[in-house]
Amino acid sequence: MKFQEVYKDLSAIENIKTKDVDKYNKKLIKEKADVSDLKDYILKEQLVYRTYFQVSMGKLKDYKEQFAFVEENAELLQDWWHVDQLIQFIKKPVDFDFAFNKAKEYINSPLTFLRRWGYVLFLAGLQKDSMHTNDILSLIKDDEEYYVQMAQAWLIADLAVFNIKDVKAFMEKTNIKYNIAGKAIQKMCDSFRITKEDKEYMKSLRKRWKS
């Protein structure tokens, strides 16, 4: 479909919400619409960003092809919010070893938002298996970019929901900068899924960086 047609369809929706875009996109996936024309416009017109990725990835047969598509379009991942949205489009379940090896590549990319994707991709359900907590935590390293730091903090906090024991051990020993550790502690403290006792313990660890 041409950009002008998609943009016209979406802009015609009054008080448009994400659910409206999703409904439209699912229709395009069912019709096997070709939305490749949107690629040349999405950095200028955010309205069609979600449609380009959701429809394109929705037509692919499995998560391996979807990851390859993300890599091919890595230069377009210049908006942190849309990187997070990609989690919703990945076909599950995803093999952990496959995702882990991909993440090891992504977190070393010169592209800020591909590095961010290297962390948030685990939030597609891979963070729930406590057997993999330490493997995922091994990927956390200092990064100067704010949006990558926020992804790391988000991931650490979410891992704590499913395996607080290993996250505690990590936070007790890690040498990552407070920019990341402090954000992770704050996110854990903001979570309704972590006990008050564990929150207090995590807050007590702040002195490791402040001293």
pLDDT value at position 82?
82
pLDDT value at position 162?
98
Q: What is the pLDDT of residues 125-173, one digit of tens each?
A: 999 999 999 999 999 999 999 999 999 999 999 999 999 999 999 999 9
Q: Extract the tokens encoding 138.
A: 């091994």
Q: What is the pLDDT of residues 34-53, one digit of tens each?
A: 999 999 999 899 899 999 99
pLDDT value at position 52?
97
Residue 137 CA to residue 16 CA, distance in Å, equals 38
Tell me which long-range contacts 82-87 makes (C-beta under 8 A, separation of at least 24).
82/49, 82/50, 82/53, 83/113, 83/116, 83/117, 83/120, 84/120, 85/50, 85/53, 85/54, 86/53, 86/57, 86/117, 86/121, 87/120, 87/121, 87/123, 87/124
Residue 24 CA to residue 65 CA, distance in Å, equals 23
Residue 93 CA to residue 125 CA, distance in Å, equals 8
pLDDT value at position 46?
87
Q: What's the average model confidence in pLDDT over 106-134?
A: 97
**Reported pTM:** 0.94
**What confidence tier does 192 reach under pLDDT thresholds 50, 70, 90?**
very high
Q: Extract the tokens encoding 161.
A: 């929901």
- Weakest-pLDDT range from 21-35, 74-88, 90-104: 74-88
**What confidence tier does 211 reach under pLDDT thresholds 50, 70, 90?**
confident
**The pLDDT of residue 94 is above 70:** yes
Q: What is the pLDDT of residues 61-86, one digit of tens each?
A: 999 999 999 999 999 998 767 899 99
**What confidence tier does 60 reach under pLDDT thresholds 50, 70, 90?**
very high
Q: What is the mean pLDDT of the chain?
A: 96
**The pLDDT of residue 10 is above 70:** yes
Q: Give the other-Cβ count within 10 Å of 107's Cβ.
A: 20
pLDDT value at position 30?
97
